[in-house]
Amino acid sequence: MSENPNPLMKLWRALPFIGDSGPLVTVIELGGVIGAAGPGRKGLSLQRLEKSIEAAFKPGRLSAVALAINSPGGSPVQSRLIFSMIRRLAQEKAVPVLAFIEDVGASGGYILAIAGDEIYADESSIVGSIGVIASGFGFQHAIEKLGVERRVHTAGKSKSTLDPFKPEDPEDVARLKNILNDMHTQFIELVQSRRTDKLAADEEIFSGAFWTAPRAKALGLIDGTAQLGDFLRARYGKDVKIKRISPDSGGLLKKLLSGGAQSNVGEPGIGQPLIDADAILDAVERRSVWARFGL
C-alpha cells in the first residue's frame, strides 16, 4: 500500500517553475478585446499584462513561451505594445515563442499572434482581418426631431471633427481616412516583417478579410493547424511541463494562504451600486467587436 504524498512536497511541486526537472513551457493567456483597462473594464493592455509576460520569460530552464490567443482585436496601440514587449524579452532570453490561435486571432489579435516565431490555429479558427476600422453614429436628425439645439464652442477649427450631432464634413472624413490608411500601412509592414517569405503573393491578405485556418495557412498567415497541448507534448515530449499564466489568476501562494475566501467588497448592497454602468457599456462594446466574427 502506497504512502500518502508529503503535503509539503505536493506544495513544492505545485509552485510555478520549480519541482521536477524536464522541459518547461510557459503559456501567456491572451483572451479578450484589446484595449486599455479602466473602471469595470478588463481589456488586454500592456499595463494589465506586463507582469504576466515578465513572469512567463523569468524561469531559467525554459524550452519555449506559448501564446494562447483568443482575441477579435481592438486597440492598435495596445496590440503593438504587447507585441513589442514579447519580442523584446524573446530576444533578450533567446527563447522561442509559439502562438496558438483559438476561436479568433483577428485584427489586433493577429498582431499578438505574429509575436510568435511560429503560428498555429485550430481548423475552425478565424484568422486575419488585417485592416483598420472606425465606426460611429449620426444623431443630427434625431435632435432636430426632439427640438434640441446643439451648442459647441471650440478653439481650433478641427476640434469638433466628426461630431455625431452634426452632418458629416467631407474634409473631416478625408482626414480620418488618411489616419486609417497610415495605420493600415503600419499594420501591413509589421506583418510583412514577421512573416517575410511565408506570405503568398495575394493582395487579398491585406484587404481586411478573414478566413478559417486552412485558407489562412495557404495565404501564409499561419504555419499549420494544431492545438496547444497536443503540439507541445509532440515537440517537447509527454513529460513537458505546461504552466499557464493569466493576469486574473493571482499567485498560488496567495490562493493557498487565503483558503479561497471571497471578500464581500464589491457585492451589490455592500458599498457598491446595484448597476455598474461602466461594466454594461464595456460589455456592449465588446459584444459588438466579437459579433463581427459571428461569435
- Residue whose C-alpha is closest to residue 220's, from 194, 248, 242, 200: 200
Question: How confident is the prediction along the chain (295 residues), in pLDDT tens digits per residue?
Answer: 445 555 554 554 455 555 557 899 999 999 999 986 555 557 899 999 999 999 999 998 899 999 999 999 999 999 999 999 999 999 999 999 999 999 999 999 999 999 999 999 999 999 999 988 887 777 777 777 788 877 778 888 777 787 787 778 788 888 888 999 999 999 999 999 999 999 999 989 999 999 999 999 999 999 999 999 999 999 999 999 999 998 875 544 444 443 443 434 344 444 445 545 555 455 555 555 555 555 5
**107 within 8 A of 126, measured Cβ to Cβ:** no
**25 within 8 A of 65, measured Cβ to Cβ:** yes
For residue 173, being part of any structural domain is answered with no
For residue 187, being part of any structural domain is answered with no
For residue 150, being part of any structural domain is answered with no
Q: Where are the alpha helices (DSSP H) in 157-243?
A: 170-195, 213-219, 228-236
**Helix or strand run (H / E) with residue 285:** helix 277-291
For residue 166, being part of any structural domain is answered with no
For residue 255, being part of any structural domain is answered with yes
CATH number, residue 253:
3.90.226.10
- Residue whose C-alpha is closest to residue 132's, from 81, 200, 83, 80: 80
Q: Where are the alpha helices (DSSP H) in the chain?
A: 7-14, 46-57, 76-93, 108-113, 140-146, 170-195, 213-219, 228-236, 252-258, 277-291
pLDDT at 249: 59
Cell digits for 185? 500601412
For residue 117, being part of any structural domain is answered with yes
Cell digits for 138? 449620426
pLDDT at 253: 40
pLDDT at 7: 58
**Residue 136 backbone dihedrals phi, psi, to 5 degrees:** -170, -165
**34 within 8 A of 74, measured Cβ to Cβ:** yes
d(CA 277, CA 29): 27
Q: Which residue range forms the structural domain that includes residue 255?
A: 7-129+209-291
Q: How many domains does the chain have?
A: 1
Predicted model pTM: 0.76
pLDDT at 127: 96
**35 within 8 A of 41, measured Cβ to Cβ:** yes
For residue 76, being part of any structural domain is answered with yes
d(CA 209, CA 106): 9
pLDDT at 187: 94
Tell me the CA distances in angstroms from 89 to 58, 98, 201, 259, 272, one per residue in order. Answer: 9, 14, 31, 34, 40
For residue 218, being part of any structural domain is answered with yes
